[in-house]
Structure 1
Amino acid sequence: MPQAFRDEALEGATKGREFRRIIHYFKNKALLISSLIFSGIAGASQLLILIIMKKAVNLFMDSGNFLNETVSVLKTSAWVAAVLIVIQIVCAAFQALVSPLFLVDIRKKLYRALMHADIAFFDKISCGAMVGRISEGVSYIKDVYVDLLFVAVHAMCASFSGFIVAMVYGWKDTLTFIAFPIVLAVELFLGNKWADYIWEKYEKAGTESTEKAVSVVTEFRTVKSFDQELDETEDFKRGLSSEENILVKVSLVKAFIRMIAICILAAMALTLNWYMMKKLTDPAHLGEMDMFEMSCILTGIILLTVGIYSALSITSDFQQAQQAARNICAIIEMKPSINPHEGRTVNDLTGKIEFRDVSFKYAGCEQYALRHLSFTIEAGQTVAFVGESGCGKSTTLQLLQRFYDVEEGQILIDDIDIREMSPRSLRKAISIVPQGPVLFTMSIADNIRYGRITANDEEVAQAAVTGNAHNFIMELPDNYKTMVAQTSLSGGQKQRICISRAILSPTPILLLDEATAALDTESEQLVQQSLENFRHGKTSILVAHRLATVVNADKIFVFQEGHIAETGTHKSLLEANGLYANLAKYQLQ
């Protein structure tokens, strides 16, 4: 069963035509149409059994030629069986191709949309909801919109064909029993509406349990550290209890719907049997209908009713897939505010950076993160951002990378407004070492090579040497081929790999966001010396709380409440005896 993912990022998602929108993203539409055609043929081909039935009737009616008629019936049965088998094999082959291709196509579209999404989107959406969409949600949509679609087409074609045959051989008798399929259709429609109403309550509960599981598994070290395993288990059980209650109600409702439907089918079968026997045995009706016509009417009405039952029984699944499809379509169809394909390509940037009266606040926040921020960094300079937490230092780095657009003012690199550059060109000019080390589930060499995919092994090793990571990497069992997910690295080791990755990236601008915060004193000194050599000729911005790392900066900007309160060198700021001097007093004594 799917989880319906409700979160702030997708509020207001366009409703309606979810099936058509999802199918639009399936590339192999010709294959899908062919599969549906063969599903319809397979449904209608059930009427071939009437050919056998006619032969059998002739056999019983013409007992004088029993042997020849028996052989004829057997031959006809063999041919009909062969045709039905071939149709079913072709139908199954098409369906076997469509399902995995559909799954892959939608996941590709979804992942591509995520790769082009704004950072603001990821600020709002929950990790649990996103994991569910990529895996469980898409799989459920495939099960319903593809696999069950074949079932529905098969059932509807069988139903329609049966109705036509019954009308041809006895329209008056067919209309006599048309009430049964109609009552069955109404019962299934209303019952499924009832089940859908209850299912809506499951959506929120399912989302909460998914998010809970993802958050606990992601931060399991913290859970273990505080001995919260049992509490988390009990908390998760309590969360699942509401889901269990809703699922039990839905199951009971569906069971009740099926029970009523079976009663309707049984009543129809008994009534048909009584009516046909009366037609065949009542002297008043003798000669009105032969056995073959009666068989056609019976078969047609049964196919009509069973087809309606099969088709409408899955409408509840289609309704439950609507929310998952709506959320997935919302992601695929969303238009990022920062278009990754707009802007001009800019090469050979030197690294001059200028903020002109920049103001910015995050979506949903009333307070400005930056207010009338202005500064200039010349190409090749090393500049430090210092200040208390939440004063706007990291926000400034994010705006420089154009993760968000400013509300007021301009950000320029080499006197070019970054909004005129393509995001790809801009970010190719910037490398960053984040505050928290970020490594992917791949080898250490590939993690370093992430800074420049074309780098060879020697260049990767040289970057690791500069980043003070080479020695500990060589002590690992598989050296640079060691998978990050299979080894236990310290925070400092992870950070040195991240620094090596930034070193490998040939960019004119280097951002170090608390880059050495996770290192011990000895490693920090070694990396600082390596970075001093590496930063030569680059524009470097250091964000730091530990002022010992910024004393050699060409310029220090002291942030306070989203603007720059002081500017100068380490020496001049100490002499000014202001905000920076107060910060330094507790760290550099």
Structure 2
Amino acid sequence: MKKILKFIGKYKIFLVLSVLLATVSVILQLYVPILFGDAIDQIVAEHQVQFDTMWVLLREILVLVAISALATWIMNMINNHMTYHIVQDIRSQAIRHIQRLPLSYLDRHSSGDIVSRIIADTDILSDGILLGFTQLFSGIVTIVVTLIFMFSKNFWITLLVIVLTPMSFLIARFISSRSFEMFHKQSETRGNQTALIDEMIGNQKVVKAFGYEEKASERFAQINADLQKYSQKAVFYSSLTNPSTRFVNNVIYAGVALVGAFMIPGGALTVGGLSVLLSYANQYMKPFNDISSVITEMQNALACANRIFDLLEEEEESPDVEGTINEVKGNVSISHVDFSYDKNHRLIEDFNLEVDPGMRIAIVGPTGCGKTTFINLLMRFYDVNQGNIKIDGKPIDGLSRHALRSSYGMVLQETWIKDGTVRENIAFGKPDATDEDIIRVAKEAHSWEFIERLPKGLDTVLHEDSISQGQKQLLCITRVMLCLPPMLILDEATSSIDTRTEQQIQEAFDKLMKGRTSFIVAHRLSTIRNASLILVMKDGKIIEQGTHEELLAQGGFYNKLYNSQFQAV
């Protein structure tokens, strides 16, 4: 609640206005029973009714009810305004925070679970906050003002009501503590369900290709059963609150009626006065019913808020600095670098490398040897555990991440296009590029051939499955070539492209890499024969380095790796 209040604090003026309107509405509603009581007391006996006074009182009641209704309507409008802006702020902060989280967090959590926290959990939190504003404010004011009015009417009956009230609190507290646990499990399970749906639908071709449909359905059914179980228990516990508190309230109401009835013959109370106290007893107890219902919803909302704030409180990547490189020459120095994803399992150990400007560095080795990890360290997607990496003599942790990453053009094996036009996808890193520039680069990257065939050319809107994997990779290559970065990183950049197109793109890359420091990760060793230096990695260490000819002449690991391409299976 304290964390939510930090977001609410931005809207203090609306909060104060809402409380004031709630107070006005409640006071007017509670003054109405007094007027009704006075009106009843105008009926003295048969043929002794003070109609003139009664009509005046009834007109006053009508005016007060109208003003109270207007105040409640405006209060609800204000509460809606506050609630949706608070949720908007939470979602905006969550998205900004995700952009600053280290990749390690995103690696550990499924995208479906993160989406569930930002969308579903904030929606439920929104409902809880809205109910809280609408019911809690009015409820608390109603309780306080009702007691004041009741004390003004009869001290002993009011004292009876106060003595019996804690029973409602105890019952509500007992039930809500158990419902919170179930709502928390419900929220977690809903996140797992979203993650599974995202995973299965996003990879439906693989699911069908391997006949995994039945197993996927079984996994979903298990999660769905857990969600049903936790939801049912949460609803069961929460549904006990209202009838339980209503039972206590009815006991209180009966007590007021009984005690008041005994007071009337002695003249300590009039019939009108008793009707006022009964009305107040009812008004006094109604907020407890409302608040008990709100507490149930709030348990669900707070359980969801817990997951949202877990995300918001995740430690961000180390603070950025303002360091920049005015003109990148491309000298890269790596000195005694150690790194591991898991502290118990060292991946890269004592890595050393000196790269002169314009060199082409090829990185080869068996799967899992640390090639892509090395690229992640160059781009500072992960920070090294020990040692340092320098560009043109400046440590990369002394540069802003934007300055560092804008120094590289990166084409990955895992392609990515956003939902948008072909133009937007190509100009992703250079939004001010002209169509002439885009078309020229697309022709160099050999992507223009298929772009021309699209229904609207550059204006064709692409989705994840709009084009083939190879075409996506061509777009990613075009995107990098448009930016003309000082350095290049090519991680299996042509893995999804046919041999003929790959040869043509290789020519384009040769032009692009001329004079630029380039790092090339490749499994097809024939594509790196012209590299200035080939690093052979195994178990996170460089075990061999040299040119293609030098490494073949050594007859070591690289020689075996290269010749294995041509061996018959």
Q: Please report the TM-score for the alignment, with normalisation by the length of structure 2.
A: 0.93
Determine which of 321, 326, 336 is the counterpart of 1:347.
326
* Structure 1 counterpart SS, 2:413: coil
Map 1:418-567; keep pairs closer than 5 Å.
418-485=396-463, 488-567=466-545
* Structure 1 counterpart SS, 2:147: helix
How much has 1:162 moved relative to structure 2?
Answer: 0.8
Residues 1:279 and 1:51: Cα distance change in structure 2 (over 3 Å): closer
Residues 1:376 and 1:486: Cα distance change in structure 2 (over 3 Å): closer
Residues 1:29 and 1:455: Cα distance change in structure 2 (over 3 Å): farther
Aligned residues of 1:574 and 1:581 also touching (Cα < 8 A): yes
Distance 2:239 2:545 in 1: 74
How much has 1:422 moved relative to structure 2?
Answer: 1.2
How much has 1:542 moved relative to structure 2?
Answer: 0.7
Residues 1:23 and 1:88: Cα distance change in structure 2 (over 3 Å): closer
* Structure 1 counterpart SS, 2:268: coil
Distance 1:585 1:153 in 2: 78
CA RMSD of aligned residues (A): 2.3
How much has 1:320 moved relative to structure 2?
Answer: 3.4
Deviations 1:362-418 (A, max 9, x none): 1x3422221111111111222211111111111111101111211111101001111
Aligned residues of 1:356 and 1:375 also touching (Cα < 8 A): yes
Residues 1:356 and 1:231: Cα distance change in structure 2 (over 3 Å): closer
Aligned residues of 1:185 and 1:309 also touching (Cα < 8 A): no
Aligned residues: 566
Q: Does 1:160 align with 2:144?
A: yes
Determine which of 39, 42, 52 is the counterpart of 1:56.
39
Distance 1:557 1:246 in 2: 54
Deviations 1:150-184 (A, max 9, x none): 21111111111111111121111211233332212
The residue identity in structure 1 corresponding to 2:2 is R
Distance 2:467 2:344 in 1: 40
Determine which of 87, 101, 107 is the counterpart of 1:123.
107
Distance 1:569 1:51 in 2: 98
How much has 1:449 moved relative to structure 2?
Answer: 1.0
The residue identity in structure 2 corresponding to 1:547 is L
Structure 1: runs of 5+ lacking an equivalent: 1-15
Distance 1:276 1:588 in 2: 103
Distance 2:351 2:29 in 1: 76
Aligned residues of 1:126 and 1:211 also touching (Cα < 8 A): yes
Map 1:133-148; keep pairs closer than 5 Å.
133-148=117-132
1:585 aligns to what? Answer: 563
The residue identity in structure 1 corresponding to 2:340 is K
Distance 1:533 1:200 in 2: 57
Distance 1:117 1:157 in 2: 43
Deviations 1:217-256 (A, max 9, x none): 2222212223333442233123222322232233333333
Distance 1:462 1:162 in 2: 78
Determine which of 222, 244, 248 is the counterpart of 2:232.
248
Which range is displaced more, 369-378 or 299-308? 299-308
Q: Does 1:299 align with 2:279?
A: yes
Distance 1:39 1:466 in 2: 68
Residues 1:327 and 1:23: Cα distance change in structure 2 (over 3 Å): farther
The residue identity in structure 2 corresponding to 1:87 is A
Distance 1:202 1:65 in 2: 61
Determine which of 283, 305, 309 is the counterpart of 1:325.
305
How much has 1:193 moved relative to structure 2?
Answer: 2.1
Q: Does 1:263 align with 2:247?
A: yes
2:165 aligns to what? Answer: 181
The residue identity in structure 2 corresponding to 1:336 is E
Residues 1:187 and 1:106: Cα distance change in structure 2 (over 3 Å): same
How much has 1:359 moved relative to structure 2?
Answer: 1.0
Residues 1:147 and 1:188: Cα distance change in structure 2 (over 3 Å): closer
The residue identity in structure 1 corresponding to 2:283 is L
Which range is displaced more, 85-94 or 36-45? 36-45
Deviations 1:94-139 (A, max 9, x none): 1232222122111111100111111122122222220111101111
How much has 1:544 moved relative to structure 2?
Answer: 0.3
Residues 1:236 and 1:100: Cα distance change in structure 2 (over 3 Å): same
Aligned residues of 1:58 and 1:69 also touching (Cα < 8 A): no
Residues 1:40 and 1:502: Cα distance change in structure 2 (over 3 Å): farther
Residues 1:238 and 1:292: Cα distance change in structure 2 (over 3 Å): same
Aligned residues of 1:548 and 1:588 also touching (Cα < 8 A): no
Distance 1:166 1:534 in 2: 86
Residues 1:486 and 1:406: Cα distance change in structure 2 (over 3 Å): closer
How much has 1:350 moved relative to structure 2?
Answer: 1.3
Aligned residues of 1:434 and 1:514 also touching (Cα < 8 A): yes
How much has 1:279 moved relative to structure 2?
Answer: 2.6
Aligned residues of 1:36 and 1:150 also touching (Cα < 8 A): no
Distance 1:453 1:30 in 2: 41
The residue identity in structure 1 corresponding to 2:4 is F
The residue identity in structure 2 corresponding to 1:527 is I
The residue identity in structure 1 corresponding to 2:528 is V
The residue identity in structure 1 corresponding to 2:69 is I
Deviations 1:488-524 (A, max 9, x none): 3111100000111111223211100000011111111
Residues 1:547 and 1:381: Cα distance change in structure 2 (over 3 Å): same
Determine which of 207, 210, 220 is the counterpart of 2:194.
210
Distance 1:588 1:551 in 2: 15
* Structure 2 counterpart SS, 1:411: strand
1:359 aligns to what? Answer: 338
How much has 1:337 moved relative to structure 2?
Answer: 3.6
Aligned residues of 2:37 and 2:276 also touching (Cα < 8 A): no
Aligned residues of 2:417 and 2:464 also touching (Cα < 8 A): no
Deviations 1:190-240 (A, max 9, x none): 122233344455455444333322221222221222333344223312322
Aligned residues of 2:256 and 2:281 also touching (Cα < 8 A): no
Aligned residues of 2:241 and 2:293 also touching (Cα < 8 A): no
Q: Does 1:276 align with 2:254?
A: no
Q: Please report the TM-score for the alignment, with normalisation by the length of structure 1.
A: 0.90
Residues 1:551 and 1:206: Cα distance change in structure 2 (over 3 Å): same
How much has 1:67 moved relative to structure 2?
Answer: 4.2
Distance 2:523 2:23 in 1: 69
Which range is displaced more, 226-235 or 513-522? 226-235
Structure 2: runs of 5+ lacking an equivalent: none
* Structure 1 counterpart SS, 2:43: helix
How much has 1:302 moved relative to structure 2?
Answer: 2.1
Q: Does 1:338 align with 2:318?
A: yes
Determine which of 370, 374, 394 is the counterpart of 2:372.
394
Residues 1:257 and 1:384: Cα distance change in structure 2 (over 3 Å): same
* Structure 1 counterpart SS, 2:420: coil
* Structure 2 counterpart SS, 1:586: helix
2:208 aligns to what? Answer: 224
The residue identity in structure 1 corresponding to 2:147 is F
The residue identity in structure 2 corresponding to 1:374 is N
* Structure 2 counterpart SS, 1:529: helix
Which range is displaced more, 218-227 or 98-107? 218-227
1:8 aligns to what? Answer: none
Distance 1:198 1:177 in 2: 33
The residue identity in structure 2 corresponding to 1:548 is S
How much has 1:304 moved relative to structure 2?
Answer: 2.0
Distance 2:415 2:69 in 1: 59
2:552 aligns to what? Answer: 574
Determine which of 30, 37, 43 is the counterpart of 2:13.
30
Which range is displaced more, 64-73 or 132-141? 64-73
